[in-house]
Amino acid sequence: MARTKKNQEPAAAAAEEHAKKSGTRRSQKAESGAAPTTVLRTGRRGRPKKIVPLGTDFVSEMDRYLFGQGTHYNIYEKLGAHPKTYKGQDGMYFAVWAPHAASVSLVGDFNNWNPDANPMFLLGTSGIYEIFMPGMGTGMLYKYAITTSSGAVLFKADPFAFEAEYRPGTASVTADISGFSWKDEKWMTQRRETDIVRSPLSIYEVHLGSWKRKDRPEKNGFYTYIEAAHELTEYVLKMGYTHVELMGIAEHPFDGSWGYQVTGYYAPTSRYGQARDFMYFVNYLHRHGIGVILDWVPAHFPKDAHGLADFDGEPLFEYADSRKGEHPDWGTKVFDYAKNEVKNFLIANALYWLDQYHIDGLRVDAVASMLYLDYGRSAGNWVPNVNGGHENLEAIEFFKHINSVISGRHDGAMIIAEESTAWPMITKSPEDGGLGFRFKWNMGWMHDFLEYVKLDPYFRKYNHNKMTFAMTYSTSENFILVLSHDEVVHLKCSMISKMPGIYEDKFANLKVAYTFMIGHPGKKLLFMGQDFAQWHEWDESVSLDWGLTGEPLHQDLQNYFSGLLHLYKKYPALWTQDYNWDGFSWINVNDADRSIFSFVRYDVTRKQSLLFVCNFTPMERSDYRVGVPKSGNYTLLLDETHGMYQRGETKKVFRAVKGECDGQPYSVAYPLPPYGTAIFRF
């Protein structure tokens, strides 16, 4: 996840300072035109004039009860802003939860951001305020003006807003997300009937804002959701990925946070278009057989004045105790997982993306920070649980709750944990004592793998175990092997720049590394730009260096990796038994002196098994012979110079001969080039 701290909003600060100096009771816009965030009233505390409540009962007593229990899974249909007809009049209905507020009103361009103009009405003791605005339509800016118990007025964006103002603006935008014409029935049916654990899953991780950019001044040249849908689909199909994982789609104020410091959990970011445009994006990818995964951030949120922090003048969405309620490393607030309404906000948000946008999976960011009370905190600056331990029991219950709800729908949607510790049973069911995630990022494999491939080939023989150790625990969880954005930023170097050797050797090294990754048990994820060997580290402010794809070595690597992906999808041996010991066998696990790895991936029938050979040194092994488990023909599907053999091309066939080799009863002679790779079918 992003570790960058966001900037503060100068527009918001200017508005507050101007209000303080003028002593006015009306809200003042910042010089930039942004909506205000905070005003301090002078004189007596402002009170809304007495108006008879509308009594719409749109948020019913049952709605309020379920929300209080944390089980109103479509609460986003009740809270927030919604087009509605009331007493024969068309307009917008608004509802917000602010239990500590002295009063709440609706403000926007329509009333010159005046907190006294449109007071909202409290529904019983629920802490929910409502108002119906006749004649108000979609596309209008608004906020809630919340008068706190101390008399301050906070201008807050709607936590349930479906759209948000383009940065640096911070207002919410009224929207109608109903009635989109989805055309992805075939995909959704297939997803529901597919066991993704026993299916191919190769993920292309993408930051839309820097994948490609247009040469135009509007919105920094960002691609729209619609433009990205077409070009991204074309690229993903060409390369052979099965899914796209999108960073930073929920609204966030600061580009440099990469979308991991969210202020609008229900709003697709306006950087790339409107809510319906994002629906088009998902629909288009689905129609072309591509899944869509979103990064999701229930671990923390920023302190921006218009956001969730101290929402009604007091800690509401966050823990009140700063030892639990703040992340000192990130300068962010931590959700209060003990509060039913907060858990409901998050669970409903996850289901919102799955239901309203047909999202296929959520990758949960920073799970470890949620599980451990002492995560990033020094001794004495964290609060033990009731048993004296450092586990966050409330977060554990939250994970079991949300994962049970999602898995219980049986619709094929997946939830993935980015969890960097050895916490047990992340992907086991809650009934069996686990947390219930479908997959877990394999951070241990990633660390060992990168440490190995960065080494000069001479020293690799002394670190052979870094490449074999992950197999000792590979079946303990449903793992995804990840080379994500976090590994190619903040002075960590791009994948090609990590490789040792002179120019050409770097590409050869990367080919061997990617071949090993595709062969190793576990699903796959690669960050954008690394499949064509971008040289510079990822920078969210500029496009990838697509011009490199026209240069021979970069193009060759891109074609080679595409061959690996297409081969991966074609052969069930590479995914049906990822988490079953029957699906993998080392041929020679101890060939450290030559830094050669050989292993077999088995399908269930054992009739389309694959033999992998990876030479991690520049040494040619012309007399190389690899042990194999059975007699017969071994057909070469891919090698380092040719890449994947396509249909119609003559494939090389090698005949196994009887005789012990590598502890196997048969062997195949295969001259192994420097940095040689070979995948055989048998």
Going by the DSSP 8-state scheme, the letter that residue 198 receives in this structure is G
Determine the 3-state secondary structure of 290 from DSSP: coil
Is residue 394 annotated as a catalytic residue, yes or no?
no
Contact 545, 555 (CB under 8 A): no
State the Cα angle at 341 between 339 and 344, rounded to 5°: 110
Contact 613, 533 (CB under 8 A): no
Written in H, E and C, the secondary structure of 378-434 is CCCCCCCCCCCCCECHHHHHHHHHHHHHHHHCCCCCEEEECCCCCCCCCCCCHHHCC
Locate 530 and state its tokens: 């690394």
Locate 328 and state its tokens: 């000192």
Catalytic residue among 16, 158, 184, 365: 365
The number of angstroms, rounded, from the C-alpha of 348 to the middle of its chain's C-alpha atoms is: 17
Q: Is the peptide bond before 457 cis (omega within 30 degrees of 0)?
A: no
Contact 638, 679 (CB under 8 A): yes
Measured torsion, CA atoms of residues 566, 571, 572, 573, in degrees rounded to the nearest 10: -120
Going by the DSSP 8-state scheme, the letter that residue 371 receives in this structure is H
Going by the DSSP 8-state scheme, the letter that residue 293 receives in this structure is E
DSSP state letters, 450-494? HHHHTS-HHHHGGGTHHHHGGGGSTTSS-EEEEE-GGGSSTTS--
Is residue 130 annotated as a catalytic residue, yes or no?
no
Other Cβ atoms closer than 10 A to 447:
14
Contact 164, 267 (CB under 8 A): yes
Contact 481, 523 (CB under 8 A): yes
Locate 465 and state its tokens: 């175990």
Other Cβ atoms closer than 10 A to 45:
15
- Give the position of tokens 């004649």: 135
Other Cβ atoms closer than 10 A to 205:
24
Written as one letter, the residue type at 18 is H
Q: Is the peptide bond before 168 cis (omega within 30 degrees of 0)?
A: yes
State the Cα angle at 328 between 311 and 349, rounded to 5°: 45
Residues whose CB falls within 8 Å of the CB of residue 284, separated by 6 or more in sequence, listed in order: 229, 230, 233
- By the 10 Å C-beta count (0-12 exposed, 13-18 middle, 19+ buried), 478 is classed as buried
Cα gap 413→438, rounded to integer Å: 9
Catalytic residue among 418, 578, 603, 640: 418
Cα gap 508→245, rounded to integer Å: 27
**CB half-sphere exposure, 418, CA atoms < 13 A:** 21
Main-chain dihedrals φ then ψ at residue 627, nearest 5 degrees: -70, 145
Locate 23 and state its tokens: 């002593």
Sign of CA dihedral 617, 614, 670, 552: negative
Please state whether beta strands 291-296 and 243-246 pair in parallel, antiparallel, or not at all (unpaired): parallel
Cα gap 350→411, rounded to integer Å: 14
Cα gap 288→509, rounded to integer Å: 33
Catalytic annotation, residues: 365, 418
